[in-house]
Chain A
Amino acid sequence: DSGVTQTPKHLITATGQRVTLRCSPRSGDLSVYWYQQSLDQGLQFLIQYYNGEERAKGNILERFSAQQFPDLHSELNLSSLELGDSALYFCASSGGSASLYEQYFGPGTRLTVT
């Protein structure tokens, strides 16, 4: 158990809908990262937050947004969902913002768009 929690575990929704994925980092970790793992693209970095501020951005679509709250939990919002958004979404946390810190992964949320 990494100490990172993600909810929900599974989510099935229809095209055009909007969903919110939630992540709680390990106690004391200030950074949260979001990743998408799809069958055709593999693992991709989406976005990083550090202590409430956006720190780095990867291949995140404009239909997706994220935020980190004062209690350090983070939410990833996916809107106008398309079939291609079906994937595993992982969040990870680390103690700091820099590359010196190891990342701990949550169990993932499996999103299926029908």
Chain B
Amino acid sequence: KNEVEQSPQNLTAQEGEFITINCSYSVGISALHWLQQHPGGGIVSLFMLSSGKKKHGRLIATINIQEKHSSLHITASHPRDSAVYICAVRANEKLTFGTGTRLTIIP
């Protein structure tokens, strides 16, 4: 079993829909990161969380430390949100990554 599990692996939605991507982990962590990787390959850090909730524009990330679970939400999704979203957990100064969720938003 991987230390970091993401679901779903692939997600296709219509423009405007509310999107949720989930991440579960099995180890104690000091922080959780959500990353976005576009088709060109570049990686952008979206959020770093150690508790609670963070919001940036149409993106919201939440984490429940007790349940070892985090969610990334996208409101009013847009085709430019199409990318791979990767969850990563930090433990012992090392990041362990999930396998990513490929999101496709159809106009």
Give 9 CB contacts A-B under 8 Å: A42-B97, A43-B97, A44-B97, A56-B92, A98-B93, A99-B31, A99-B50, A99-B90, A105-B44
Most B Cβ at <10 Å: residue of A2, A43, A48, A90: A43
Interface 0/1 of A16-34, CB less than 8 Å to B: 0000000000000000010
Interface residues of B (CB under 8 A from A): 30-31, 33, 35, 41-45, 48, 50, 86, 88, 90, 92-100
Q: How far is the CA of A58 from the CA of B94 in the complex (A)?
A: 7
Contact, CB under 8 Å: B93 / A43? no
A103 to chain B, nearest CB (A): 6
The smallest C-beta distance from B36 to any residue of chain A, in angstroms, reads: 10
Contact, CB under 8 Å: B100 / A102 = no
Total residues of chain A contacting the partner, CB 8 A:
25
Do B42 and A108 touch (CB < 8 A)? yes
Q: Mark A86-114, 1 if CB is under 8 A from B, else 0.
A: 00101010000111101111011010000
Tell me the smallest distance from the CB of A29 to a CB of chain B, in Å.
13
Chain B residues contacting A42 (CB-CB under 8 Å) are: 97-100
CA distance A88 to B41 in the complex (A): 8
B24 to chain A, nearest CB (A): 16
Q: Is the CB of A2 within 8 A of B31?
A: no
Give the nearest-CB partner of B92 in chain A.
Answer: A56
CA A108 to CA B97, docked complex, whole Å: 17
CA distance A65 to B6 in the complex (A): 31
